[in-house]
Amino acid sequence: MSELFDRIDALVASRSVLPPSAERKRLRQAHGLTLDEVAAALDVRRATVSGWEAGKTEPRPPERDAYARMLKQLAELYPAPTNPAAPEQDTAVPETFTGEPAPAPQVRTLAAAPVSEAAAMTATENTQTSAPVAPAPAAASRPARTARPSSTSRRPGARKAPPAGTPAGGTDPRFVNGPLAVVDVEDGQVLAYCVGGLVLEVPAKSIPALVEWTLKEARLGQPKLSGPGKDADPLLVLTESALERYGLPVALTEEERLAGRIPEGHKVIKQLARADWKLTKRGFGPWARIYRPATGSERACVQLCIPSWHALDTRHWGEAGKLAPAELARVLGVYASRVMTPRGSTAVTGLELMTALHPPTRASEPDADGKRHSEHNPGSLGKDPVDCAPCEAPDGHPLLADLPRFHVRGPAEKLFEEAYDWARPMTDAECTLRHLVGIDVNMAFAAGANGLVVGLGAPTHVKAPVFDAKLPGSWLVDLSHVDLSRVRVAKNKWADLDASLLPSPFTPKGERPEGPAWYATPTVAYAVELGYDVAPIEAYVRYESGRYLDGWYNRLRDAYLTTMADLGVHADLSPEDFLAAMDGYKERDPELAIVVSAVKATVKGGLGKLRERPRGERWRPGEPWRALSRPTWRPDIRAAVISRTRINLHRKIVKHAAFTGQYPVAVLSDCVVYAVDGTSPLDFLPYRDGKPLPGGFKLGINPGLVKHEGTQSVLWGEEVRERFNAPELNLARYIKDGTVTDVDNGE
pLDDT tens digit string along 175-197?
Answer: 999 999 999 999 899 999 999 89
Q: Which amino acid is at 215?
A: L
Do the Cβ atoms of 727 and 666 come closer than 8 Å?
A: no
Alpha helices in 110-253 (DSSP H): 117-120, 207-213, 240-245
Query: Which of 54-58, 112-116, 232-236 has the weakest average pLDDT?
Result: 112-116
Judged by DSSP in three states, 582 sits in helix
Count of C-beta atoms within a 10 Å radius of residue 410: 13
DSSP one-letter code for 218: I
Q: Which amino acid is at 121?
A: M
Q: Per-residue DSSP letters for 241-257?
A: HHHHHTT--SS--HHHH
As a whole number of angstroms, the distance between CA 743 and CA 736 comes to: 16
Region 528-541 average pLDDT: 97
CA distances from 528 to 423, 475, 487, 534, 641 (A): 25, 14, 10, 7, 18
Region 516-538 average pLDDT: 97
Q: In what side-by-side order are the strands of the sheet with 473-478?
A: 460-463, 538-541, 473-478, 516-520
Confidence bin at 34 (pLDDT 50/70/90): confident
Residue 422 burial class via C-beta count within 10 angstroms: exposed 0-12, middle 13-18, buried 19 and up: buried
Whether pLDDT at 746 is above 70: no
pLDDT at 148: 34
Count of C-beta atoms within a 10 Å radius of residue 35: 18
To 10 degrees, the CA torsion angle through 37, 43, 46, 47? -150
Distance, CA of 356 to chain centre: 16
Q: Which helix (H) or strand (E) holds 678?
A: none
Residue from 25, 18, 533 nearest 326 by CA? 25
pLDDT at 699: 97
pTM, 2 dp: 0.79
As a whole number of angstroms, the distance between CA 12 and CA 8 comes to: 6
Kindly report the average pLDDT of the chain as a whole number.
Answer: 86
pLDDT at 49: 84
As a whole number of angstroms, the distance between CA 440 and CA 279 comes to: 42
Confidence bin at 113 (pLDDT 50/70/90): very low
As a whole number of angstroms, the distance between CA 633 and CA 628 comes to: 6
Region 305-315 average pLDDT: 96
Contact partners, residue 446, CB within 8 Å, separation at least 6: 553, 556, 557, 560, 603, 703
Count of C-beta atoms within a 10 Å radius of residue 633: 21
As a whole number of angstroms, the distance between CA 152 and CA 154 comes to: 7
Confidence bin at 368 (pLDDT 50/70/90): confident
Count of C-beta atoms within a 10 Å radius of residue 554: 15
DSSP one-letter code for 729: -
DSSP one-letter code for 321: G
pLDDT one-digit tens code per residue, 250-277: 999 999 999 999 999 999 999 999 999 9
Region 289-311 average pLDDT: 90
pLDDT at 82: 53
Query: What's the CATH number for 2-77?
Result: 1.10.260
pLDDT at 96: 29
The fraction of the chain above a pLDDT of 70, given in percent, is 84
As a whole number of angstroms, the distance between CA 257 and CA 616 comes to: 13
User: Greater confidence, 138 or 604?
Assistant: 604
**End-to-end Cα distance, the chain:** 88
pLDDT at 660: 94
pLDDT at 452: 97
Residue 43 burial class via C-beta count within 10 angstroms: exposed 0-12, middle 13-18, buried 19 and up: exposed
User: Greater confidence, 559 or 33?
Assistant: 559
As a whole number of angstroms, the distance between CA 374 and CA 363 comes to: 5
Whether pLDDT at 100 is above 90: no
pLDDT one-digit tens code per residue, 403-461: 998 899 999 999 999 999 999 999 999 999 999 999 999 999 999 999 999 999 999 99
As a whole number of angstroms, the distance between CA 327 and CA 735 comes to: 33
Q: Which amino acid is at 127?
A: T
Judged by DSSP in three states, 662 sits in coil
CATH 1.10.260 domain position(s) in the chain:
2-77
Q: Is the dihedral of CA 581, 582, 583, 584 positive or negative?
A: positive
Alpha helices in 610-712 (DSSP H): 635-660
